[in-house]
Structure 1
Amino acid sequence: MLPPMKRAHYYWLLQVLGWSAIALFTALFINQFSPLSTIYFPLAAWCGATGLLLSEAWHRLCRRRQARGQALAWPAALVATVVLGTVQAASNLAMDQLISGGGWNSAPPGWIMMLLLFWSGIMLAWNVAYMAALSLRRNQRLEAEALLLEAETLRLEVLAKDAELRALQSQVNPHFFFNSLNSVRALMYEDRDNAANMIDQLATLMRYTLMSTFTDCVPLAQELGAVRAYLAIEQIRFEERLRARFEIEAGMEGVTIPPMSLQTLVENAVKYGVEPRSAGSEIRIIARQDGAGAVIEVANQGVLRANPGATRVGLSNARKRLELAKGGQASLDLSEHEGWVRATLRFPLAA
């Protein structure tokens, strides 16, 4: 895809070289019939000059047609080939007769037919080369436009993905703080010191949430810090009914996850595992590597059953944010086995 000035430069360079080569060929051809004669070299120069002028005239006409939106088609190129070849042959014959001093009837019919075929073939070759150049330029332009369109589509997809992530995250934060404030309110009438401690932990959570609002993913270590602050709040509320256990494999702290995704699972474990059970529940938070993927699990004692009052908005939200941030291979599954309910995050480490 050369700029117009550069294209014009190469066009004229090829024109001059091409028609000069044809003029040289014509001179050598004539010399085969009239050795040691120089009278026909002006004829060869004339053939090259008129060929360049005729092809340039056709080139300008083609450009005018293109400016009007009329593409150069093969029928028009073939008609131009015959017309240009005939004009060039007639010009060649006229100059030949002028130089030799013969009359118009002195040229044999076979020679005239040979001239017509030769110059029509030259003009056909010129048109084929010109149309090939136009086709190549058009294909390059279409490829460039396709690449630009693809880049713009990808940019819009990224913007849409980012907007969806922000929208989903904005749904999580109010839900979480509403639950936390309810816990603070319930404790204020029982233990002010613990209520003050709970407010401190809530401030830590708010700070983390505000800092992570404008990022797609955060290191697991940061998310675990927020989870510990949340569990400290709920520990004040549930006391010995809430027991937390962390099993974080070495090296997993740097793995990134969508902010508040682990927090959402821990909230659900407290809500459906600790709160409804008089004996409470242990909550296990496990992070490990599984081959080329990461597995993060939140488990609580209980039974996985349909709850008429549960909207599962939090889980659905977390699942969508995980897929948007980590790709289609990421998953969030709920399962029950031997009295334990497990919420399991899986995603490729390379994501």
Structure 2
Amino acid sequence: MPTTAPPKPLLARLNWYWIFQLAGWNGAALLSLASLSRAPLSAAIIGVSWCGAATGLLLSIAWRRLLRRRGWIAGRFAWQRIVPCLLLIALVQSLLVGASYALLQPFGPVTSWLWLPSAMVSWFGIFLLWTILYAMIIALRRASRLEAETLRLQVLAKDAELRALQAQVNPHFFFNSLNSVRALVFEDRQAAADTLDRLAALMRHALNAGRHDTVALADELGAVRAYLEIEAIRFEARLTVRFEIKSGLGATPIPPMALQTLVENAVRHGIEQQPEGGTIVLNAQRAADGVRITVANSGVLRTNSASTGLGLANARQRLQLALGPAASLSLAEHNGWVRAELFLPEPS
């Protein structure tokens, strides 16, 4: 079913150009009326005040079209072209206002042209101020659009980066799993079939995960359980796993395969490196403003492993791309345990 875009806010729907135009020129008419207050208020005085506002409005509309068509304020001000035009506009406006004085005669017949230079200076200043204000508004609007476009491009870039990171699948685990299945085929066909089912479910989760920024923690834990059950075939008694998951956390959003990456690192660079094997403990509990997940494995932190650093860097990047800068991932060793800790902030 097609959906309609939500309506824009009222302030965004208003035509601010015309609001400012009408308000500004009516304000100019009131100022003109106030400057003529030395004489008794009459229809002629009101007429010349609003005639000046009306002609000023029409000239400013034509001036705006010229500025936009010529691009004189698109970048740097083309003062060498703007100033002569403003002098011409000031002259035309002064003559039009003079014509209204001659027609309406608020102070009697116009018999002198001595008023023209001062009128031109006044109208030049008014139209110069109008031009500067209009250029400022255009610059602010352009900056706002540029910021919005930059933000849109950043979001698109982050989304593409997130999709690329989510598409990564560790080939070592896949080939090890196939080797485990091959060995089981000759020993226990049912166990081999069950392992293939788990592998298919895990691969399905990885492929589907690439379509979403986050998945539910319950789904991610299901994939992790399938992964550890497959690895348990290879390690047998050398691998012990404990899940300590508090209830009510299943709907918590988490980047796809993020927890899987941490568990895989614990197996490959912890359990696999110890002849006697070891233990992996997954703990998830509610924390202030979010959920804290810990993946701990017995052993030592191997800082010289480039692949571990890359996997953790990708996991940290996925985490912050999907959930924001408040999300975090840390790795530390303490008392014979290596702990990778995820903090998932509450959705805003």
The CA deviation at 1:347 is: 3.8
Instruction: State the alpha-carbon separation in 2 of the partners of residues 45 and 270 from structure 1.
Output: 89
Is residue 168 of structure 1 aligned with residue 165 of structure 2? Answer: yes
Instruction: State the alpha-carbon separation in 2 of the partners of residues 57 and 264 from structure 1.
Output: 67
The CA deviation at 1:346 is: 2.4
Change (3 A) 1:188 1:306: farther
Partner residue, 1:295: 292
Partner residue, 2:263: 266
Instruction: State the alpha-carbon separation in 2 of the partners of residues 335 and 325 from structure 1.
Output: 23
Partner residue, 2:114: 116
Q: Is the 8 A contact 1:89 1:116 kept in 2?
A: no
Q: Is the 8 A contact 1:173 1:209 kept in 2?
A: no
The CA deviation at 1:176 is: 4.3
Change (3 A) 1:59 1:173: same
Is residue 200 of structure 1 aligned with residue 197 of structure 2? Answer: yes
Change (3 A) 1:241 1:132: same
- Partner secondary structure for residue 216 of structure 1: coil
- Partner secondary structure for residue 253 of structure 1: coil
Partner residue, 2:243: 246
Instruction: State the alpha-carbon separation in 2 of the partners of residues 133 and 325 from structure 1.
Output: 46
Change (3 A) 1:133 1:91: closer
Instruction: State the alpha-carbon separation in 1 of the partners of residues 149 and 171 from structure 2.
Output: 34
Is residue 313 of structure 1 aligned with residue 306 of structure 2? Answer: no
Change (3 A) 1:122 1:287: same
The CA deviation at 1:145 is: 2.5
Instruction: State the alpha-carbon separation in 2 of the partners of residues 273 and 60 from structure 1.
Output: 74
Change (3 A) 1:91 1:327: closer
Q: Is the 8 A contact 1:287 1:297 kept in 2?
A: yes
Change (3 A) 1:127 1:284: same
Letter in structure 2 aligned against 1:116 = L
Partner residue, 1:38: none
Partner residue, 2:279: 282
Partner residue, 1:224: 221
TM-score scaled by structure 1?
0.71
Instruction: State the alpha-carbon separation in 2 of the partners of residues 192 and 151 from structure 1.
Output: 59
Instruction: State the alpha-carbon separation in 1 of the partners of residues 127 and 213 from structure 2.
Output: 53
Instruction: State the alpha-carbon separation in 2 of the partners of residues 321 and 127 from structure 1.
Output: 59
Partner residue, 1:156: 153
- Partner secondary structure for residue 319 of structure 2: helix
In terms of Rg, which structure is larger? 1
Partner residue, 1:177: 174
Instruction: State the alpha-carbon separation in 1 of the partners of residues 302 and 64 from structure 2.
Output: 75
Match of 1:235 among 232, 235, 241: 232
Change (3 A) 1:226 1:126: same
- Note the alpha carbon deviations across 1:241-275, whole angstroms, 9 max, x for none: 22111111233222211111111111222223333
Change (3 A) 1:120 1:332: same
Letter in structure 2 aligned against 1:291 = A
- Partner secondary structure for residue 283 of structure 1: strand
Question: What's the Cα RMSD here?
Answer: 4.5
- Partner secondary structure for residue 171 of structure 1: coil
Q: Is the 8 A contact 2:266 2:296 kept in 1?
A: yes
Q: Is the 8 A contact 2:93 2:123 kept in 1?
A: no
Aligned residues: 323
The CA deviation at 1:163 is: 0.8
Alignment gaps of 5+ in structure 1: 33-40
Alignment gaps of 5+ in structure 2: 1-13, 73-77
